[in-house]
Chain A
Amino acid sequence: AQRVTQPEKLLSVFKGAPVELKCNYSYSGSPELFWYVQYSRQRLQLLLRHISRESIKGFTADLNKGETSFHLKKPFAQEEDSAMYYCALSSTGGFKTIFGAGTRLFVKA
């Protein structure tokens, strides 16, 4: 079955500390993985996708096919990173997307 699991509902870190939001997936095929972010009072938007291998706002995510994981990392968290983060999966070239339950990140001053 296709599934995206985000084991942490809430993650709280201090400003300047490293942060890692975990994402594991189950998919029989070649998936594309994404991280979407929803800041307070803003709409959900794409943060990054694994195929682009970019660093967006200091965040990176590496697809580990062996561990079926796509964890989101940032070495030094900022208060403005506080938001809801969703890991998502779709088939390569597909259009339907499966979202995880989301992790709320709270960065404390």
Chain B
Amino acid sequence: NAGVTQTPKFRVLKTGQSMTLLCAQDMNHEYMYWYRQDPGMGLRLIHYSVGEGTTAKGEVPDGYNVSRLKKQNFLLGLESAAPSQTSVYFCASSSLGQGANEQYFGPGTRLTVT
């Protein structure tokens, strides 16, 4: 099993450009999450999904949109990138029930917005 994978690994954008980050998991997990990791601030939840076709806002959702059209995929979109969105983005997933709060992480995507 590949676990949680993220595409791309690195990306440089200019202010105002758009892009989509793809997260895929092969563990049949119900829950998926997008975090951003910034120095001194830890991981902050951007958006999450409790199942196919559902999404919800996390702690820092502004400037991002998400979609979960298939259970195994969770897409994070930046419609108009800003330098403040320079960060490392992590996708994670977790299962239902007792294992719901143990999260499995992807390798991360390093995004730079100039």
The residues of A with any CB-CB pair to B shorter than 8 Å are 4, 6, 9, 32, 34, 43-46, 49, 86, 90-91, 93-97, 99-102
Task: Contact check, B100 vs A94: say whether CB atoms are below 8 A apart.
Answer: yes
Report A-chain residues with C-beta under 8 Å of the C-beta of B107.
Answer: 43
Report A-chain residues with C-beta under 8 Å of the C-beta of B50.
Answer: 95
Contact A101 B94, CB 8 Å, known A32-B101, A46-B102, A95-B101? no
Task: Contact check, A96 vs B41: say whether CB atoms are below 8 A apart.
Answer: no
Q: How far is the CA of A4 from the CA of B43 in the complex (A)?
A: 11
Interface of B is mostly: strand
Report A-chain residues with C-beta under 8 Å of the C-beta of B40.
Answer: 9, 101
Q: Which of B42, B43, B45, B105 contacts A43 (CB 8 A)?
A: B105
Task: Contact check, A43 vs B108: say whether CB atoms are below 8 A apart.
Answer: yes
Contact A44 B100, CB 8 Å, known A86-B42, A86-B43? no
13 contacts between A and B (CB under 8 A): A43-B90, A44-B43, A86-B42, A86-B43, A91-B101, A93-B101, A94-B101, A95-B31, A95-B50, A97-B101, A99-B35, A99-B42, A101-B42
